[in-house]
Amino acid sequence: MKAVVLVGGFGKRLYPITAEIPKCLVEVSGKPLIYWIIHYLRFHGVKEIILCTHYKHELIRNWLGDGSRFGVNIEYSYEKEPLGTGGALLNARKLLENEDWFYCMNGDILTTIDLKRLNVLTNKGVVGVIATVPLRTAYGIIVFGKDNSIERFIEKPVLWEYWMNAGIYLLSNEIFDYLKPKCMLEYEVFTQLEGTGKLKALQFPMSSWLSIETYKDVLKAEKETFYKAYARERVEIPY
């Protein structure tokens, strides 16, 4: 099964680092973010990878090449202009024509989500399965008692009653029927499928998950170890 990784964004919240390199080449623990993602996919048996690129795409190609040194095969789908996550996927359609199902993920995620578990929901009529993780707040919260008294503080709690889109999907080829040349998967395509039964979600309550949005996230990731277990060999970084 193939996997599509969306790496075309500008990474504006990581400026000025991303003024020089694309977000997926920002180093986390001494390796570009895409390095960890490729090894994560390979660990789950995915060796055919499509990268949807736009911003500074030539740097991505130069560093990754055909993927052979990572034990995978990499193909590229280049966007001449930003198309959004859905448009980028539509742009890669020709590379997915022979795939009944394929994985798709954002190119800024570190996680231990088990990709193969998403297959349990691929029933007839299902267009896509979204991996979800419990929502962790970015701030501490206050629990009130009577008369506005503070009973306790809870620092950045996990809100178990709310589940967040983890940016990892298993999609049927039928998803292309819902895509437009410029569109967002999250806000335009998936919302079309609300209430139809064609879109499923699977909960991963115990999986580690981190999205690299800002430099603060980079620093947080470098304190973690969960994603490092997927990569075994040493690959020199040529830039």
- Taking only the tens place, the pLDDT of each residue in 134-171 is 998 888 889 998 888 999 999 888 888 899 999 999 99
DSSP H helices in the chain: 33-43, 57-64, 84-91, 190-192, 215-221
**Inside any domain, residue 236:** no
Tens-digit pLDDT profile for residues 118-132: 999 998 899 999 999
DSSP state of 92: T
d(CA 61, CA 120): 34
Instruction: Determine the average pLDDT of the residues in 40-47.
Output: 95
d(CA 7, CA 9): 6
Tens-digit pLDDT profile for residues 78-127: 999 999 999 999 999 999 999 999 999 999 999 999 999 999 999 889 99
**Inside any domain, residue 205:** yes
Q: Show the tokens assigned to 45.
A: 């048996």
Note the pLDDT of residue 235: 55
Instruction: Determine the average pLDDT of the residues in 201-224.
Output: 95
**pTM check: above 0.85:** yes
**Inside any domain, residue 237:** no
Q: For the chain, how many structural domains are there in total?
A: 1
Tens-digit pLDDT profile for residues 163-195: 999 999 999 999 999 999 999 999 999 999 999
CATH number at residue 203: 3.90.550.10
The residues annotated as belonging to the active site are: 156
Note the pLDDT of residue 239: 46
Q: What are phi and psi of 111, to 5 degrees?
A: -160, 165
Name the residue range of residue 108's domain.
2-230
Residues across the chain: 239
